[in-house]
Structures are given as C-alpha cells and as structure tokens.
Structure 1
Amino acid sequence: MDSGTKHLPLQLDPGLPDGPHPGGKGCLECCIKCLGGIPYPSLIATILLYAGVALFCGCGHEALSGTVTILQNYFEVVRGPVDSLDVFTMIDIIKYVIYGIASAFFVYGILLMVEGFFTSGAIKDLYGDFKITTCGRCVSAWFIMLTYIFMLAWLGVTAFTSLPVFMYFNIWSICQNTTILEGATLCLDPRQYGIVPIGEGKTVCAGSEKFYKMCESNELDMTFHLFICALAGAGAAVIAMIHYLMVLSANWAYVKDACRMQKYEDIKSKEEQELHDIHSTRSKERLNAYT
C-alpha cells in the first residue's frame, strides 16, 4: 500500500437519509392547518360580491356613457347649463355614485373576510389561548345588521337597474321588427320616461333616417346588453349579501354557543379545583389526627 495515500473517513450520502425526514410532515401539517383555518363560506361570498359589484359598476358606467351618446346623436338632446339639473347631470351623479359603491364594497368585503377569519379562529381555538369576548359577539351582530341593510339597498339598486333594461328592451324590440312597422306612425319619445322636459319634442319615429341609423348602430345593442350585465351584477350582489347573512348568523350562533361552553368549562374547572382543595384539606386533617 502506498504510504502517500490518505485514507478519508467514510461519509454517508446526504441525499439518502437513514430515516424519514421530520420536516416534510411538519410542513404538510402546517399547510393543512392553514387551509383548515380559511373560512370558505365567507371566501365564496366575498368572491361573489366582488364579481357582482365589478360587473354592476363596470357595465353600468359604460351603459350610461352609451346612453349619453344615443341621446346626443339620435334624439338631439343637448346638455343644459351647468346649474341646471338635466338628464346628463343625473347621469354624471350616478357615475360618481358607482365610483363610491365600488370603493365602499371593496373595503366592506375585506372587513367581512377578516371577520370570518377571526370568527373561525375563535371557534377552532376555543380551548386555547384565544378567548371569545363580548366585543366579538357585538361586532358579529353589528355586521349582521349592516349586511341586512346593504341587502335591502341592493334590492333597490336591482329594481332601479331593471328600468333602463325595460326601456331599452322596448326600443330594441321595435328595431328588430322594423319590417312589420312599415307605414306605421310609431315614435320613440323620451318625454314619456322623464328624460327631457315636456315642452321639448325630441321624438324619433319609425321609418325615419335617424331611426334606421340608431337601430343599425352598435351603441343601441351594446348599451342594451351592458344594462343587462349590470342588472345581473346587481342580482349577484344581492345573492352575496344573502350568503353573507347566512354565514354571519351561523358564526354568531356558533360564537354564542362557544361562549356558553367556555363559561361552563370555567365553572366546571373551578368546582373541580375546589373539590380537590377540600379533599387535600381533609386528607391533611386525617393525617394530622392520626399522627
């Protein structure tokens, strides 16, 4: 054997451990615990709420812009002075209301999601360090009341959104039956919807050039379908509010029951401690009497 050769110690392959790696199981358990703590009903309701509000706000905003274009191009309705409250001013106000609805319900959905996380944690960690307080129950009850009010508000928004859908459906159905209306004196008058004052005549009659241009334009068809999508979004928001009411009511009931269970466990442990103290005292007395 060559004397210059050095004998290296035997080393094990680090990629071949001689036992199961404890870190993999811990990571899996951590992931399962994190997934188990997600309030899935609140998550589904939040996604539905965001989808409905986004559909209502986006489609409603574009449909209002299309309505302005139709009124100006085909009915020749002009914008009044700055101080006057005409249809264009009302449309601008509704657009600003849409901006407020989008931002407000974005924040409200986050708050409801956070409340769902805290409520789920309170139920799951009932016997841990987390204690259910009266403030938590009051917050849940407050969210229930607020969500109920918002649900009624969205019912009103849905009913209000159905009005332009009905109006555009009438106009769209007339345009689809232009061949039947040949020779008829049927006119579209925005005064009957309160869009323009009574003294202003802004009619478009079937068979006229403006009527055919309006029916063949993309503005009418696109605005009609955008209002339908906005109505669907408002309906989805109503369904999300109802879903939230069910989730919040169930969470409030669970928290209330868990609070009662917590009080029962505290009283039970206190009685057991008292019985243990009494038993220890009697045992010491017997031992002293014997000695």
Structure 2
Amino acid sequence: LIATILLYMGVALFCGCGHEALSGTVSILLNYFDVTKGPGGGLDVFTIIDILKYIIYGLAAGFFVFGVLLLVEGFFTTGAIRDLYGEFKITACGRCLTAFLMFLAYLFFLVWLGVTAFTSLPVFMYYNVWSMCQNSSSMEGANLCLDLRLFGAVTVSEDRKVCTGTEKFSRMCVSDELDLTFHLFVCALAGAGAAVIAMVRRITLSSDCS
C-alpha cells in the first residue's frame, strides 16, 4: 500500500508539475525569445512540447491502471491472506501473473530512470539561467547571452538569444514565469525520483513474496 501511494504521488507530481512547466516554457519562448511556430507546421520546439504533454497524459493514465494492478496483486500475496487460506495453493496462473507484473515493474523502473535523467536536463538548464539572473548585478560589463541554438530549441540559422544588460533579459529575470517554471521542473524531478523509489520498493516486495 505504501509503495502504491508513493507511486501515485510521484507520478501525479511529475505529470502535474511537468505539464505546467512545459506550458511555462512555451510562455518564456514566446515572450522573451520571440520564437514563433514555423510555417507548414513542421517539427519545431512547440510541436515537441505538445508531444511531451501527450506523453505525460499517457503516463498518468497508464500508471493509474498499473498501480491498481500492483495493489491488487500485492494484497493477495500478503501474509494475512496466506494465514486466512492456509490450504490455498498458488496456481500456475497466479505465478505467471506475478512474474509478469514483476517484469513490468522492472521495465517501468528502467523507464522511470530514463525519465528522471531526462527531467534533470531542463532543471540544470533553468538553474543556469536562474543563476545568471541572480548574479546579473555582479556581472557589470560582462556580455553573456542565452542562445537557444545551444539547446537545440531552434535551427542553427535562427538567431534567438537574450543577452545580459538588455530589457528582455531584465524583464525575464524579474518575471514570475522563470522562477515558477524552474521550481515546477524541480518538483517534477522530485516526483520522478519518488516513482523510482516506489518501483524499487515494489520490486523488492514482489521478490520477497515470490
């Protein structure tokens, strides 16, 4: 039960905060970097963000069902159930179901490791931007720029950057969008980490029960 609750909390935190952080990223790109959707509806940064949002929707729905299955399977493999049905023998179908759920748990554990690693990238990027804003007063005379081409957000031919000392950079630093988006990505990373811990806990319990 604890593993299931932790899994739900981690996935909910990741999906909710991740969705809002992506929306904040779109707002920052539009307001401060003047990035617009390319003609023809090609695969640009906004399309990728929309795809990531749909992936979040799928993760939320899929792990809701998966959490229910793990909870039911874990309930029927507890010691209390074994004491209640002392003569009950586990069938081959039950063993196969437990083995299949353990396999899914291992698979999703690896998936969430990848999700956690991927989520750490925007956290690192936003931390650098946030640090530049916090230390902008001590960097008088330095001309530092945030170039989206370095992050792969735009093509090489596009010049989309914001430099220190400009009005856009100052407005971005004092806005609530940057600070809120950074902390939302941090919460999403924490949720992904909680889901990993829950999967490890569930795998350990399944191994003990088997």
Give yes or no for TM over 0.5. yes
Shift of 1:66: 0.2
Unaligned runs of 5+ in 1: 1-42, 253-291
Distance 2:98 2:203 in 1: 11
Q: Which residue of 1 aligns with 2:134?
A: 176
Q: Which residue of 2 aligns with 1:127?
A: 86
* 1:119 counterpart SS class: coil
Q: Which residue of 1 aligns with 2:197?
A: 239
Is 2:59 the counterpart of 1:59?
no
Distance 1:165 1:127 in 2: 52
**Of the candidates 55, 62, 65, which is equivalent to residue 97 of structure 1?**
55
Structure 2: which amino acid aligns with 1:79? K
8 Å CA contact retained: 1:122, 1:131: no
Deviations 1:155-194 (A, max 9, x none): 0000000000000000000000011111111111011000
8 Å CA contact retained: 1:126, 1:132: no
Distance 1:122 1:133 in 2: 15
Structure 2: which amino acid aligns with 1:124? D
Is 2:146 the counterpart of 1:188?
yes
- Higher RCO, Cα 8 Å, sep 6+: 2
RMSD value over aligned CA atoms?
A: 1.1
Distance 1:133 1:122 in 2: 15
Q: Which residue of 1 aligns with 2:28?
A: 70
Q: Which residue of 1 aligns with 2:161?
A: 203
For the pair shown, the structure with the greater C-alpha radius of gyration is 1
Q: Which residue of 2 aligns with 1:9?
A: none
Once the two structures are superposed, the pairs formed by residues 135-154 of structure 1 within 5 Å of their partners are: 135-154=93-112
Question: TM-score w.r.t. structure 1 length?
Answer: 0.70
Shift of 1:123: 2.2
- Corresponding residue pairs, total: 209
Question: TM-score w.r.t. structure 2 length?
Answer: 0.97
Over the matched positions of the two proteins, sequence identity in percent amounts to: 65
Structure 2: which amino acid aligns with 1:70? I
Q: Which residue of 2 aligns with 1:48?
A: 6
* Structure 1 runs of 4+ with >4 Å offset: none
* 1:131 counterpart SS class: coil
